[in-house]
């Protein structure tokens, strides 16, 4: 989302040995996701899933930045929702 800071917009959950971390990225600066992914990898996270605001090419960029060492996937929405998703950032 616009204005999110990956240093402060973080939510973490843990239960029975499993960890989940959501990190907010300013979508006007998507390149931040590469360093966030590197940090998550250093912290021992075993997979990364990008939100629907990232195009498929970002999966490849992050996989490459991590040396294809962990799975990177993404959430995608159909074209019928494109307009409503764009309006979220207004």
pTM of the model as a whole: 0.85
pLDDT tens figures, 28-68:
999 999 999 999 999 999 999 999 889 899 999 999 999 99
Per-residue tokens: 60: 């490849």
Mean pLDDT of 2-26: 95
- Reduced to 3 states (helix: H, G, I; strand: E, B; else coil), residue 7 is coil
Parse the chain into domains and list their residue ranges. Answer: 10-88
Which one, of 35, 25, 32, 31, lies nearest residue 2 by Cα? 25
What sign has the CA pseudo-torsion 29, 34, 38, 43? positive
């Amino acid at each position: 989302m616009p204005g999110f800071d990956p240093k402060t917009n973080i939510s973490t959950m843990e239960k029975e040995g499993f960890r989940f971390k959501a990190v907010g990225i300013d979508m006007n600066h998507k390149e931040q996701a590469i360093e966030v992914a590197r940090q998550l990898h250093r912290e021992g996270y075993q997979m990364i899933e990008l939100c629907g605001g990232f195009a498929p090419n970002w999966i490849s960029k992050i996989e490459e930045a991590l040396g294809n060492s962990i799975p990177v996937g993404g959430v995608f929405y159909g074209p019928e929702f494109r307009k409503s998703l764009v309006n979220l950032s207004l």
